[in-house]
Structure 1
Amino acid sequence: MAGRNGAPSYLLTSGPGRSGRGRAVAVLGGVGVLALLLVIGLVVSLTGLFASDDSSSPAAGAGSSADTAPPAAVPAVGSGPQAEAALSAQPMISLPDQAALPHALSTRTAGPAITLPLPQQVAGTLVATGFPATPEGAIGQLSELMQVGMAGGDPQVWAQAYASLAEPGAAPAAQTATGRDLVSLRRAANMAPTGPRTGMTISWTPTGAQVKGTTADGSYTVACVLGELVADYNGRVVNGGWGNCLPMRRVDGQWRIASGPTAATAPSAWPGSAEAVAAGWQEIRR
């Protein structure tokens, strides 16, 4: 099956005896063998989804009953630290592990496409900034952070990108779901804790988004983005959907990662699939 970016996909199947939560892609090289490990999803019960090189494996999730209307949007309720913490901690929909793997797309949508504004400050910043004071602006800022921070699947890169946008009192990068899962990626692949691996590239491309909720004063938004994570190891490709949510606060005319607790984990789904629709992921446009 071809991925959304046209690259060949190697479908993954669940491995027995694995438990826990995580999301990452690790590519392990051997003599004449490419072992692929996808640890993906924000709310999952398995730590590993193991792949073989047999691309004829059935696509997970095809024909799923998850092709249902998305959950209702979280309304804006109150303002201040308590309202922010409650909004951030509210759980999101749970999806099966296989929902994140490449499979059939749905003919339905979760709603109209979300048009993301362009950043106004690009030069001289690690992560582009300058998004408007709207929920779409918060999503645009998070999308930029994810594209930069996910490059190479490196926890140090994520930490640097995250720190460039975090306001004082924000959860440390290492305590975010993305930070923890990138560490798991490295450990599972027997890679160095940071730095590149010869022959391997990892990237994340945004495909969808949603607003989990906004406080009544509009200064605090829990923004969520979904993208396609692609790991290429010497021309062999594995990919899957990866979602993330972070609390964003408007500070001095910019969106920053908000102080206080980090957001509850977001559902990871293959972009455009029935599960993505059920989870409320709307297509994004620029």
Structure 2
Amino acid sequence: MFDRTRHVYQSKLVDPDTEWTRRRLQILLGSVVVVVLAMAAGGLWSVVSMLSGSSAGGATGSDSAQSDQDQLAAKQLPEAPLEAAQPGSLSSGETGTIEIPAPMEVGEVGVATGFPHTPEGALAQLAAIDTTALTSASVRVAQEVITAWAAPGGPTAESWSGVQGLAALLESAGMSSEAQNTITIGAEPKMGFIKGTVGDDFVIPCIDFIVTATTAAGQPQQVAAADCQRMVWHDGRWVIGEGEEPAPAPSLWPGSQASFDAGYQWLEVPQS
């Protein structure tokens, strides 16, 4: 499911009457990077803020007042400009590989599940949650996804960055909140790392996706988009946990030297 060379999650076909310039689509895709996946304690970054070079502040409060989980979530990761998320030069160097377990079943709202009680299982579950929500091209479906896959006290249908980001993407494209038949969105988890763990039941995995938007007006356009979430083991499965969404990971084109320098590793499902 998460083989980096063969699997892309997509919704349906595009409206042949829709026309975008390459730059508009790049900005649109940039909104995925910024709005879906740039999380800060005070709320969302806007596309305008990102493009103008401003950034969001970190979490507030003293370290002594935070739990170990909160401290891990709030720990800042390197920032990256929007240009670093665009397709670019690939490195001839090497990085490691994270072996991702395959899903055992399909769960609520069509999200793959059945992953083991390991950090890699948490990463795989987050990839399945994110891809299902984003590629649906439907705000309603994304809301159903987070309602089914968040622990009590976790993100809601109104607050989850995945819902807000998808809504921003569709709005930027001049589409309705139910755009399954007007745009194809693909999301392929290519690289990732484990930001940290607290005990056996709390993991913050970070995933670097290639997001692809396709219209009938031209070739598909792509951008990297990274996400980190609090994953907790709850009732025998990994779900997104309670608390503020973690500080954002840099969105870097997979295979670039910057992605290696940031600690990303390739994601693979072992071949049986």
TM-score range, shorter chain: 0.7 to 0.9
Quick one: structure 1 residues 28 and 107, their matched pair in 2 at CA, closer, same or farther if it must change by over 3 Å?
A: farther
Match of 2:74 among 63, 76, 89: 89
Match of 2:176 among 189, 192, 214: 192
Match of 1:121 among 101, 105, 112: 105
**Superposition deviation, residue 123 in structure 1:** 6.3
Whether 1:259 aligns to 2:250 is no
Quick one: structure 1 residues 267 and 88, their matched pair in 2 at CA, closer, same or farther if it must change by over 3 Å?
A: same
Distance 2:21 2:191 in 1: 34
**Native 8 Å contact 2:117 2:233 kept in 1:** yes
Give the equivalent residue in structure 2 for 1:104: 89
Quick one: structure 1 residues 244 and 174, their matched pair in 2 at CA, closer, same or farther if it must change by over 3 Å?
A: farther
Give the equivalent residue in structure 2 for 1:136: 120
Distance 1:175 1:255 in 2: 20
Give the equivalent residue in structure 2 for 1:233: 215
**Superposition deviation, residue 45 in structure 1:** 8.3
Whether 1:209 aligns to 2:192 is yes
Quick one: structure 1 residues 5 and 154, their matched pair in 2 at CA, closer, same or farther if it must change by over 3 Å?
A: farther
Quick one: structure 1 residues 250 and 124, their matched pair in 2 at CA, closer, same or farther if it must change by over 3 Å?
A: closer
Of structures 1 and 2, the one scoring higher in RCO (CA 8 A, sep 6+) is: 2
**Native 8 Å contact 2:136 2:142 kept in 1:** no
Which amino acid in the other structure matches residue 140 of structure 2?
Q
Give the equivalent residue in structure 1 for 2:30: 39
Distance 1:49 1:180 in 2: 16
Give the equivalent residue in structure 2 for 1:219: 201
Query: TM-score, normalized by length of structure 1?
Result: 0.71
Distance 2:210 2:49 in 1: 18
**Native 8 Å contact 1:208 1:282 kept in 2:** yes
**Native 8 Å contact 1:46 1:97 kept in 2:** no
Match of 1:244 among 227, 244, 263: 227
**Native 8 Å contact 1:141 1:255 kept in 2:** yes
**Native 8 Å contact 2:87 2:223 kept in 1:** yes
Query: Which ranges of 4 or more aligned residues in structure 1 deviate by more than 6 Å?
Result: none
**Native 8 Å contact 1:244 1:266 kept in 2:** yes
Whether 1:166 aligns to 2:150 is yes
**Native 8 Å contact 1:177 1:265 kept in 2:** no
**Superposition deviation, residue 48 in structure 1:** 9.0
* Structure (1 or 2) with the greater helix fraction: 2
Match of 1:29 among 15, 18, 27: 18
Distance 2:108 2:159 in 1: 27
Query: TM-score, normalized by length of structure 2?
Result: 0.75
**Native 8 Å contact 2:102 2:115 kept in 1:** yes
Where 2:112 maps in the other structure, the secondary structure is coil
* Structure (1 or 2) with the greater strand fraction: 1
Distance 2:140 2:255 in 1: 30
Where 2:208 maps in the other structure, the secondary structure is strand
The count of residues paired between Structure 1 and Structure 2 equals: 230
Distance 1:147 1:230 in 2: 12
Which amino acid in the other structure matches residue 29 of structure 1?
T
Q: 5+ residue gaps in structure 1?
A: 7-26, 51-80
Quick one: structure 1 residues 152 and 131, their matched pair in 2 at CA, closer, same or farther if it must change by over 3 Å?
A: closer
Which amino acid in the other structure matches residue 81 of structure 2?
P
**Native 8 Å contact 1:135 1:223 kept in 2:** yes
**Superposition deviation, residue 165 in structure 1:** 1.2
Give the equivalent residue in structure 2 for 1:19: none
Where 2:128 maps in the other structure, the secondary structure is helix
